[in-house]
Amino acid sequence: MYLVKKTLIIFFALSSIQISSQYKADMGLSIGSSYYKGDINPSTPFYSPGLNFGLSYRYNLNPRYVLKGEVNYLTLSANDADFTDNYQQRRNASFSSKLYDFAAQFEFNFLPLKFADRKMSFSPFISSGLSGALAMGSSYSKTFFVALPFAIGARATIGRKWSVGINWNFRKLFNDKLDGVQNPFPASMGSIWNNNDWYSYAGLFVTYKMFDFGNNCPAYHENFK
């Protein structure tokens, strides 16, 4: 009898954890435009814009703190011929690449976000964490890059299950190989921050709370009202 009671206690505890994780989580889709920054394009935002679309999973720890995972597909390209710089005109380098981007980030909402019937809430946010990308480029076959991700954006909830938002994501690579062009200056004359390549994407996203078992629970209303 004792074993049966213990088993039931463990079962209900695990069920409670599972339900809690489900109603705090949502899935999302995003679409937008991507671009690259590096030796060919030193500073122009959204130069030669490419396509970006992605999937996301958010676990809402509370109305301000979110853990999120992302998978994105991006296209990037650049050509020295598009710039008037004499050195670039002589170099005449170009590249195109397809990237599969993966990221795990911690997101902070400046204002509390609440999911509730007939209510909306809004907050700007920032996020950062760790990311990587599998790139297939015109100047290389397949290369895996590790990057430092960070993002800014804003998100609004719509009722109990939906949210929409905009964001601008940045990926700072730990090497200078994305464009297939080596920096003309030795590493000793620059910095990791300035010499290495970047890629970035911005766009719109929508999320949907797949499970909503917790809305009838008093603890849910206490934590998310």
- What is the model's pTM? 0.79
- Mean pLDDT for the chain overall: 84
* Domains of the chain listed by start with CATH number: 2-224 (2.40.160.20)
pLDDT tens string 73-110:
999 999 999 999 999 999 999 999 999 999 999 999 99
User: 3-class DSSP state for residue 9?
Assistant: helix
Looking at residue 216, its pLDDT comes to 45
d(CA 26, CA 14): 20
Residue 98 pairs in a beta bridge with 75, 136
Residue 53 pairs in a beta bridge with 31, 73
| Averaged pLDDT, 49-70 | 95
Q: What is the dihedral of CA 30, 194, 180, 69, to 10 degrees?
A: -30
Confidence of residue 189 (pLDDT cuts 50, 70, 90): low
Looking at residue 16, its pLDDT comes to 45
Looking at residue 2, its pLDDT comes to 54
Q: Are 153 and 182 in contact (CB under 8 A)?
A: no
Segment (H or E) for 69 = strand 65-79
Token couple for 139: 């100047």
Whether residue 186 has pLDDT greater than 60? no
Look-up of token digits 């981007």: 101
Confidence of residue 127 (pLDDT cuts 50, 70, 90): very high
Confidence of residue 15 (pLDDT cuts 50, 70, 90): very low
Closest CA to 35 of 126, 169, 173: 169
